[in-house]
């Protein structure tokens, strides 16, 4: 069995257009929750979200396994 890192999956999802990178500054308080809620409820846009500028030291990856394909 091949070991795969989280970075591997991020690159795969990005290549298959299953990932949206969000570089705009967002608040971890309520803003991220609202964005995720809207994306998850949309069948056409139900993608993984990578918040790169969320006010923390680390990026935030949400909805990684949001559909059967992923």
The answer on pLDDT for 68 being more than 70 is: no
Neighbours of 61 (CB within 10 A): 16
* pLDDT on residue 70: 58
Please compute the mean of the pLDDT values over residues 58-63 and round it to a whole number.
Answer: 94
Which residues is 19 bridged to in the sheet? 48
Q: Give the span between the Cα atoms of 48 and 63, in whole angstroms.
A: 5
Domain boundaries, the chain: 6-62
* pLDDT on residue 11: 94
Q: Give the span between the Cα atoms of 60 and 32, in whole angstroms.
A: 10
Condensed to tens digits (0 to 9), the pLDDT of residues 30-50 reads: 999 999 999 888 877 789 999
Task: Confirm if 23 and 52 have CB atoms less than 8 A apart.
Answer: yes
DSSP state of 1: -
The answer on pLDDT for 22 being more than 90 is: yes
């Amino acid at each position: 069995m091949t070991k795969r890192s989280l970075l591997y999956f991020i690159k795969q999802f990005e290549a298959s257009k299953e990932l949206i990178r969000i570089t705009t500054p967002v608040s971890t308080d309520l803003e991220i929750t609202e964005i995720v809620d809207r994306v998850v409820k949309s069948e056409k846009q139900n993608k993984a979200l990578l918040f790169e500028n969320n006010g923390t030291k680390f990026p935030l990856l949400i909805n990684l396994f949001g559909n059967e394909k992923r």
